């Protein structure tokens, strides 16, 4: 795994939404240079504490970016290759790594390979790229039945048993890494056989050993998938769900259980951790009690893994994902020209992110930090977190009354609030106000 990932905090952006691009490809592939809109936000990301920019889809597509038509071309709604180069240069100048979003489980119907199949029928040279079922007597111009992604007929599933598909994906990944990207998020990695990723990544890493590759995996045996695929990491949806669910139900037993499982993953790899992304309801909307947003962030930024902050969450943006056409629009909004144009009421949450990310960097050793439960009740939790030794303690109180919790050996409150008694001693304890939280140094 790339060593630089140990210090990385991603700021994730969904570019097509962020820059206000049209929802469908423009006629005649008209190039509009919108990608430069991101330049005005790079200093904001650095000041937040991020060290990496994780981009959503940026390659030529028909609509939302996940129906790719050309992996080697920047989406004309965003700009062109020169715009990509300029963004890479601007990110580099600020010390920001760049992660790309690779959609390699499927392509859009307008992809040239699938269009060739529709034109030439079973005799198409690219027919093997897809999983097709031809009606009897098929020929040119006859449309086959085909595997598609989760029932979406516009998303044509690739045949991952065809070596040409693996070679194509390896070529795409290598091309953009050579052009300046630092790694890839592999969309819908859970839908692709791990042996396919293993073949692709062997090729990619021969030329680019420092590339970081994380797979989108929602459920399943995370550790086994990482082992069999050669991925560096997968997305930690188990922990994401446990964080907001435990806070909403005021049931910290659920969170403690999820963190125990998370410890097991950390023995094998460092998951990509998050409380929000471009596919889920924003954390500020998901929580039923807004007083618990700091609790969610305290967990995210003290537990092991590689944290990712979805653009707008650091300003407590609201947005609910709906299971319908256009149901992602509310969580993928356009951003104003500069951060100065943001509403004033989100900045306290931004400053809280700054403080917690800075604390994470100061403490060190949290990338592989295991969580050890020191105190657990339904609405109370104290965790000792560290790699090898405890470096911080995270104390949470979800109750409507103040609570005094044991924090043995804790020396000082680094973030949050409360009263610490007998600091540094075995009997140290912290009194948290109702719905309070604290991160303490050990």
Residues 116-135, mean pLDDT to the nearest whole number: 94
Beta bridge partners of 413: 440
435 within 8 A of 293, measured Cβ to Cβ: no
72 within 8 A of 175, measured Cβ to Cβ: yes
What's the pLDDT at 141? Answer: 77
Q: Are residues 40 and 71 in the same domain?
A: yes
What's the pLDDT at 198? Answer: 98
What's the pLDDT at 256? Answer: 98
- Rg, the chain, Cα only: 23
Number of domains in the chain: 2
Residue 2 confidence class, pLDDT cut points 50, 70, 90: confident
Range from 228-237, 296-305, 383-392, 394-403 carrying the lowest mean pLDDT = 383-392
What's the pLDDT at 326? Answer: 84
What's the pLDDT at 139? Answer: 73
Q: Are residues 377 and 398 in the same domain?
A: yes
Does residue 326 sit within a domain? yes
For residue 137, pLDDT over 80 is answered with: no
| Three-state secondary structure call for residue 186 | strand
What's the pLDDT at 235? Answer: 98
Q: Are residues 351 and 382 in the same domain?
A: no
Q: CA angle 93-356-48, nearest 5°?
A: 30
Beta bridge partners of 383: 373, 394
Q: Are residues 34 and 14 in the same domain?
A: yes
Q: How far apart are CA 398 and CA 288, in angstroms?
A: 12
What's the pLDDT at 243? Answer: 98
Q: Are residues 417 and 297 in the same domain?
A: no
Residues 23-48, mean pLDDT to the nearest whole number: 94
Residues 188-209, mean pLDDT to the nearest whole number: 98
Rounded mean pLDDT of the chain? 96
What's the pLDDT at 278? Answer: 98
Burial of 405: CB neighbours in 10 Å, binned 0-12, 13-18, 19+: buried
279 within 8 A of 425, measured Cβ to Cβ: no
Detail the DSSP E strand segments found in 36-121.
52-55, 59-61, 68-74, 97-102, 106-108
For residue 130, pLDDT over 80 is answered with: yes
Q: Are residues 357 and 379 in the same domain?
A: no
Does residue 241 sit within a domain? yes
Does residue 138 sit within a domain? no
For residue 35, pLDDT over 90 is answered with: yes
What's the pLDDT at 279? Answer: 97
What's the pLDDT at 26? Answer: 82
Terminal-residue alpha carbon distance, the chain: 29
Q: Are residues 382 and 244 in the same domain?
A: no
416 within 8 A of 433, measured Cβ to Cβ: no
Q: Are residues 304 and 390 in the same domain?
A: no
Half-sphere exposure (Cβ direction) of 266: Cα atoms closer than 13 Å: 24
Q: Are residues 295 and 424 in the same domain?
A: no
Does residue 129 sit within a domain? no
Residues 313-329, mean pLDDT to the nearest whole number: 94
Does residue 123 sit within a domain? no
- Residue 312 in tokens: 């707008």
For residue 365, pLDDT over 90 is answered with: no
Residue 388 confidence class, pLDDT cut points 50, 70, 90: confident
What's the pLDDT at 404? Answer: 98
Q: Are residues 92 and 12 in the same domain?
A: yes
Does residue 135 sit within a domain? no
Residue 347 confidence class, pLDDT cut points 50, 70, 90: very high
Final residue belonging to a domain, choices 368, 388, 409: 368
Residue 304 confidence class, pLDDT cut points 50, 70, 90: very high
Q: Which residue range(s) make up the domain with 407?
A: 370-441
What's the pLDDT at 28? Answer: 78
Using one digit for the tens of pLDDT, what is the confidence trace for 250-273?
A: 999 999 999 999 999 999 999 999
For residue 389, pLDDT over 90 is answered with: no
Does residue 124 sit within a domain? no
Q: How far apart are CA 88 and CA 63, in angstroms?
A: 24
Q: How far apart are CA 64 and CA 60, in angstroms?
A: 10
What's the pLDDT at 364? Answer: 85
For residue 136, pLDDT over 80 is answered with: no
Q: For residue 155, how far is the Cα from the chain centroid?
A: 22
Q: How far apart are CA 131 and CA 146, in angstroms?
A: 6
Final residue belonging to a domain, choices 329, 352, 368: 368
Dihedral angle of Cα 182, 163, 195, 189, to the nearest 10 degrees: 50
Final residue belonging to a domain, choices 368, 391, 415: 368
Does residue 125 sit within a domain? no
For residue 390, pLDDT over 80 is answered with: no
CA dihedral (429, 432, 435, 439) positive or negative: negative
Q: How far apart are CA 73 and CA 68, in angstroms?
A: 10
> Could you give the percent of the chain with pLDDT greater than 90?
93
Residue 168 confidence class, pLDDT cut points 50, 70, 90: very high
Q: Are residues 290 and 424 in the same domain?
A: no
Residue that has been written with the tokens 């809109």 in this structure: 37
CATH code, 426 = 2.60.40.1180
Residues 12-27, mean pLDDT to the nearest whole number: 95
| Three-state secondary structure call for residue 70 | strand
Q: Are residues 211 and 77 in the same domain?
A: yes
Length of the chain equals 442
Q: How far apart are CA 83 and CA 87, in angstroms?
A: 6
CATH code, 192 = 3.20.20.80
């Amino acid at each position: 795994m790339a060593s630089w990932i140990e210090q990385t905090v991603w700021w994730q952006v969904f570019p097509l939404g962020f820059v206000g691009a049209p929802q469908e490809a423009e006629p005649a592939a008209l190039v509009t240079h919108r990608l430069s809109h991101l330049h005005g936000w790079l200093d904001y990301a650095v000041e937040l504490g991020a060290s990496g920019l994780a981009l959503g889809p940026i390659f030529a597509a028909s609509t939302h970016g996940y129906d790719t038509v050309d992996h080697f071309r920047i989406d004309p709604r965003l700009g062109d290759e020169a715009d990509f180069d300029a963004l890479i240069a601007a990110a580099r100048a600020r010390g920001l790594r760049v992660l790309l979003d690779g959609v390699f489980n499927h392509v859009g119907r307008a992809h040239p390979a699938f269009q060739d199949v529709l034109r030439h029928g079973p005799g198409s040279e690219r027919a093997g790229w897809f999983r097709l079922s031809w009606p009897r007597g098929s020929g040119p111009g006859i449309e086959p039945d085909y595997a598609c992604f989760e029932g979406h007929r516009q998303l044509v599933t690739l045949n991952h048993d065809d070596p040409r598909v693996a070679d194509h994906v390896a070529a795409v990944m290598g091309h953009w890494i050579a052009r300046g990207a630092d790694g890839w998020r592999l969309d819908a990695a859970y839908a692709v056989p791990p042996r396919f990723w293993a073949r692709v990544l062997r090729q990619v890493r021969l030329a680019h050993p420092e590339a970081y590759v994380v797979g989108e995996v929602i459920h399943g045996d995370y550790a086994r998938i990482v082992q069999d695929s050669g991925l560096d990491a997968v997305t930690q949806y188990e922990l994401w769900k446990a964080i907001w669910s435990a806070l909403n139900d005021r049931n910290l037993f659920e969170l403690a259980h999820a963190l125990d499982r998370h410890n097991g993953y950390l023995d094998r790899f460092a998951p990509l951790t998050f409380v929000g992304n471009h596919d889920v309801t924003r954390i500020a909307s998901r929580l039923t009690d807004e007083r618990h947003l700091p609790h969610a962030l305290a967990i995210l930024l003290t537990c092991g893994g590689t944290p990712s902050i979805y653009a707008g969450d650091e300003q407590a943006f609201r947005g609910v994902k709906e299971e319908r056409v256009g149901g992602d629009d509310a969580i993928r909004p356009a951003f104003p020209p500069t951060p100065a144009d943001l509403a004033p009421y989100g900045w306290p949450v931004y400053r809280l992110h700054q403080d917690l990310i800075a604390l994470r960097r100061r403490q060190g050793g949290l990338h592989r930090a295991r969580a050890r439960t020191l105190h657990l009740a339904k609405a109370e939790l104290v965790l000792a977190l560290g790699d090898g030794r405890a470096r911080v303690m995270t104390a949470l109180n979800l109750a409507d009354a103040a609570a005094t919790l044991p924090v043995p050996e804790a020396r000082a409150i680094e973030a949050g609030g409360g009263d610490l008694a007998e600091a540094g001693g075995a009997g140290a304890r912290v009194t948290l106000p109702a719905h309070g939280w604290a991160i303490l140094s050990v």
